[in-house]
Structure 1
Amino acid sequence: MKRLCMALWVGLMCGALWAHTPGDSSRTQIPDAHRVQLNECLSSSHRELNLAISPDGKTVIIASDRGGNDWNTAFVTPDRDTLYDVDLWVSNWKGDSWTTPKPLPFGINSSASEDEPVLSKSGNRLHFLSWNLTWEGTAGPYYRSKNKKGGWSPIVSSALIPEYLIRDVQNTRHLYISSDDRQAFWTAGLVPDLTADIYSCKKSRWGWTQWQKHELSTFGEERSAFLSADGRFLYFSSDGYEGYGGLDLFCAQLDKDGHVTCIQNMGPEINTSGDEHNWVMSRDGSKALFIRDDSIYEVSCNSMLTDSNDYTP
C-alpha cells in the first residue's frame, strides 16, 4: 500500500470534510440506507454508455442504445439479444425528480451512433460524438449544437479533436470540457496502444493547446474524466490502480498548476467488482450520477464514504 494522503473530495461534495492522515486506515461513514441507488427513471433495460450533466444540475444527457426511434438500426447478437445504435437522450429535473428521458431530435441523432455528450456552462450547448454517414466530409466525428427557443441548431464540427488524432484512434471512450470552457479531457486509445488513456488540453488566447497524455494514465484502461467546478479535483475511471475489481472511480486532488498531488479510490459504496465510470455532478455538488455496469446510479451528498485506498503518484 502506498503512502496515504488527505481525503478532500468529500468536502467538495457535501460541505463537510473527513481526512485520512498518514497511517490512519479507518473509514468514516454517515449512516444512510440509500447512500447509492439505481436511478430507475434514467436507466433502462439497455446499455447506458455515457452521461453529461449541466452545471446547474437541471439537465442530463444520456448516451444509450435503448432504441425505439424511427431512425434506429437493430442488431441481433449471437445470444439473440436485440441491440440498437446509440442515441442521445435528455432528461430534466422537475420538482424533486428527473423526467422520463426523451431522444434528442434526428439531426443530432442519426441511424449511426451518437455518444460522449458534454454540456456547456450555460447548459444550452452540446458537444458530442457522431459516426453519421457524412462525418469524414464534415470534419467529424465530434460536433456541437446549440439549444435555442426554436430547437437545436444544425450540427457543426467542434474542431476540438484534430484530424491526425482521429486517424490514430483505436477506440474512443469519453470527452469532457470543463464548466469554464478552459480545459478538455479525452479518453481514447490511440495507435499503437490498445487500451484507452486520458488526454488533456487547455484553451489559450490562440486556441486549444496540443493534446497530451495525462499523468493519471496507466498501463491499464481509463474510461472517463470529470473536473470539479473549482478545478481542484479530477474524477476518473481506471482499472490501473488498486481497487475493488473492474473499472473503479477515483478522485485526484490537483495543485494550482493542475498537477496530481494524490489519488483516492472513491470507496466500496461507489465501487464494486463490476465496472464504474462516468462520474458527473452539478456545480454545487447537490446532484451526482455515475454508471455502474451499464446502468445509472445516483449518490446522495449526505452519504459519502471516505476510504483508505489513497495513493501518491
Structure 2
Amino acid sequence: MKRLSSACSLSLFLLLCVTFYGMAQKPARILSHPQHVRIERLYRLNSPFRETNPSITPDGRYLYFMSTRGGKPWSEARRRPDGSYEYDGDIYYSLKENGTWSAPVCLPPPINTWNGEDEPVVTPDGNSVYFQSWEGWEIKKGPYQMAQIINGKWINPVGLGDGITKYFLDQAAMGRELATDGMTVSPDGNLFIVATGPYYGNMDLYYSRRDARGKWSYLRKLPISTPGNDRHPFIAGDGKTLFFSSDGYGGFGGLDIFKVVMYSEEQFGEVVNIGSPFNTAGDDECFIITADGTEAYFTRNGDLFYANVEKANPALKPQPTVLLAGKLIDAHTQAAIEGSVVVTNAKGEVLAQGRSTNKGEFSLVINDLSGSYFVKGTATNYQPNSIRIEVGAIKSTVRLNAIVPLTSKARLAQIEEERRRIEEEERLRIWKMYEEAQAAVTTGIMALERIN
C-alpha cells in the first residue's frame, strides 16, 4: 500500500469516520467447513518483515507478492506508524516445483525501484505481471503498469493509462489523499478492480473495464463496497468469483475475508463470509485460491499462510473452469519455441490467450465449458498452426494438455525447394522416357522400311 499525495485534514478524516460509523451492511452469512482445514505459515517465503498482496496463477505454479525485506541497492528504510522499521516494498515471485516453493526472487529494475512497488497480479500464463508504482506515475501513465518477460528477460513496463490514470489524476487535482491496497485483473485481462481511498481511512472497491479497442474505462465504485473498509480484491480463475477483505459485513472482527459471485460489474450474488479458520478477531486479508479450488493462500499479521482446501466447504471454491497446459515445439527438431497462443471456440471467439516461455511451455485458463477448442500457436519465423481439442461438455474443473507443433519458415523453404527438385527430377525422368520411346519408335519405323 502506498500513499499518493496528502491534502486532507485530520478533521475531515474524523468527520468521515463519524459519518460512516454504524452504517455497516447487513451481516453476511458465515460459511462453516465440515472438516478441519489446516493452515500453515509459509516459512519458505516469509521474512522478518511484512509480506502482503499475493497473486497466484490459476494452475498454482507461480506466486507473486510484495515484501518489505529490503536488501537491494535501491532499498530505503522507513518508519511505520507503530514505530517499527521496514523497507520500501519490492515485488517477488516463487515457482512451485515438485510441490515445493522456490526461494523468492526479486524482480529487477525498472519494475522494482527505490520508491516501492506493490500489488502484483500475475497473468495466467505466468509471463506478465501487473503492478502498482508511484514512481513517475503521471508520466508513465500509472500508477498501474504491466511488464512482460520476453526471451527470459523482463522488458520495460507500460502504464495502463486511460480511465485508470485519469481517475488518479483527477483525485490528485482535487487535493485528495489517496492510497491503494490491493488490485486484481480478470484472467481474460479485461476487468480491473482496485481498493482505493484515504491512506488512514476506509477504502472502497472500484473497477475499470477494457473495451474492444484496448482502452480502460474511468474507475467506478463497485456496488458491493460498504461504508466500512474494503480491501484486497482477488478475481479467481473462473473470472466470476471475487474475494475481498472488509469490516463492513460483520464477522469475527477486524477485516474478514468474503466471497461473492460477479454476474456483471453491477450485479452480484450473495456476499458470504468464508468463515474460520481463515477469519479471526484480527485482520485477515489477501485471500487467493487456485482455479481448481484445492490450494488457498492469505495474509495475517504481515505473513503469508497456506491452506489445503480440498475438503473445505464447496461454497468456498470458484466455479468450474478449464486449465490448459501445453508446449509450442518445432515440428522438425522438437525444440521449444517462445511464441503466442490463442484459444478459440468453433465460432472463432477468443476464449484465452497468452505466451509460451523460452522453454515453450504455456498455461491458460478457459472459462468456456463446451469442451471444444482450437489452440493456435504463432511465433517469429514460424508458420502458424492450430490443433483441435474435443473432450465433450465439462462439469467440473479439468486439466487439459496440448502440444502445438510449428514449422519454421526456413524449414518450409527447404520443403518447397525439395518439392521443386523432386518435380524437376520427375519432369526430366518423364522427358527421358518420352525421348527413349520416340527413339524406339523411330528405330522400329526404320527397320520396317528396310524390310520393305
TM-score, length basis structure 1: 0.82
Q: After superposition, give the CA deviation of every residue in 1:60-114 in whole Å (9 maximum; x if it has no partner).
A: 1111101111110122568764311110111110111111112111211111110
What is the rounded CA distance, in whole Å, between the counterparts of 1:233 and 1:219 in structure 2? 22
Check whether the contact 1:76–1:82 (CA below 8 A) recurs between aligned residues.
yes
Contact 1:170 1:194 in 2 (8 A): no
> Could you tell me how far apart the structure 1 residues matched to 2:289 and 2:27 are?
28
What corresponds to 1:115 in structure 2?
Answer: 118
Deviation (angstroms), 1:306: 7.9
Q: Is the 8 A contact 2:69 2:89 kept in 1?
A: yes
Task: Give, in angstroms, the shift of residue 167 of structure 1.
Answer: 4.2
Distance (whole Å) between structure 2 residues aligned to residue 278 and residue 245 of structure 1 = 16
Distance of 2:29 and 2:262 partners within structure 1: 13
Contact 2:246–2:258 under 8 Å retained in 1: yes
Offset of 1:278 from its aligned partner? 1.2
Cα distance in 1 between the residues matched to 2:67 and 2:120:
11
C-alpha displacement of 1:239:
0.7
Q: Which moved more, 1:112-121 or 1:69-78?
A: 69-78
The sequence identity of aligned pairs, in percent, is 31
SS in 1 for 2:63: strand
* d(CA) in 2 for partners of 1:157, 1:195: 26
Aligned residues: 284
Tell me whether 1:223 sits opposite 2:236 in the alignment.
Answer: no
1:158 aligns with one of 160, 164, 180: 160
Structure 2 Cα separation of the partners of residues 150 and 95 of structure 1: 22
Instruction: Give 1 or 2 for the bigger CA radius of gyration.
Output: 2
* 1:180 aligned residue (175, 183, 188): 188
**Partner residue in 1 for 2:307:** 299
Deviation at 1:156, TM superposition (A): 1.8
Q: Which has the higher contact order (CA 8 A, sep 6+)?
A: 1
* Counterpart contact for 1:125–1:146, Cα < 8 Å: yes
Q: Supply the distance in 2 between the matched residues of 1:283 and 1:227 (Cα, whole angstroms).
A: 10
* Residues 81 and 229 (structure 1), Cα distance of their counterparts in 2 relative to 1, 3 Å cut: closer
Distance 1:230 1:287 in 2: 15
Task: Return the TM-score normalized by structure 2.
Answer: 0.58
Query: Residues 162-210 of structure 1, C-alpha deviation per residue, up to 9 Å, x if partnerless?
Result: 233344151111111011212111110169x942100113233243333
Distance 1:31 1:261 in 2: 27
What do residues 15-68 of structure 1 show as CA deviations (whole Å, max 9, x unaligned)?
xxxxxxxxxxxx442145xx1121111211111121111222111111110111
The one-letter code sitting in structure 2 at the alignment partner of 1:29 is: P
- The whole-number CA distance in structure 1 between the counterparts of 2:143 and 2:81 is 29
Q: How far apart are 1:226 and its partner, in Å?
A: 1.4
User: Are the counterparts in 2 of residues 51 and 278 from structure 1 also a CA contact under 8 Å?
Assistant: yes
Q: Distance in 2 between matches of 1:203 and 1:85?
A: 30
Alignment correspondent of 1:21: none
2:251 alignment counterpart: 243
Change in CA separation of 1:28 and 1:70 when aligned onto 2, cut-off 3 Å = closer
Shift of 1:151: 0.9
Structure 2 residue 288 is matched with structure 1 residue 280: yes
Q: Which amino acid aligns with 1:70?
A: P
CA distance in 1, matches of 2:272, 2:297: 18
Secondary structure of 2:270's counterpart equals strand
Unaligned runs of 5+ in 2: 1-24, 172-176, 316-452
Check the 8 A contact 1:267/1:306 in 2, yes or no.
no
Q: How far off is 1:279 after superposition?
A: 1.2
Tell me by how many angstroms 1:230 deviates. 2.3
Q: Output one character per residue of 1:200-233: Cα deviation in whole Å (capped at 9) or x when no partner.
A: 1323324333321101100111111112222342
Alignment of 1:28-67 (within 5 A): 28-31=33-36, 35-67=38-70
Q: Does residue 145 of structure 2 align to residue 149 of structure 1?
A: no
Aligned residue type for 2:125: S
Residue number in structure 2 paired with 1:201? 208
SS at 1:164 equivalent: helix
CA contact (8 A) 1:266 1:306 kept: no
Partner of 1:289: 297
Q: How far, CA to CA, are the matches of 1:145 and 1:40 in structure 2? A: 28
Q: Quick check: 1:269–1:305 contact (8 Å CA) kept in 2?
A: no
Report SS of the residue matched to 2:111: coil
Report if the CA contact (8 A) 2:28-2:249 is conserved.
no
Q: In 1, are the aligned partners of 2:120 and 2:130 still within 8 Å (CA)?
A: yes
Name the amino acid aligned to 1:174: G
1:271 counterpart = 2:279: yes
Match of 1:23 in 2: none
Q: Which residue of 2 aligns with 1:73?
A: 76
Deviation sequence 1:128-164 (CA, Å, 0-9, x none): 11122x3332222221110122310012212262233
The residue number in structure 2 matching 1:92 is 95
In structure 2, distance between residues paired with 1:276 and 1:258: 26
- Which amino acid letter does the alignment assign opposite residue 135 of structure 1? W
Distance in 1 between residues matched to 2:133 and 2:76, nearest whole Å: 14
Q: Which has the higher helix share?
A: 2
Looking at structure 1, the residues matched to 258 and 169 of structure 2 have their Cα atoms a distance apart, in angstroms, of 27
Correspondent of 2:142 among 140, 152, 159: 140
Deviation at 1:235, TM superposition (A): 0.9
Distance 1:289 1:246 in 2: 18
Distance of 2:262 and 2:138 partners within structure 1: 37
| SS in structure 1 at match of 2:259 | strand
For residue 285 of structure 2, what is the amino acid of its counterpart? H
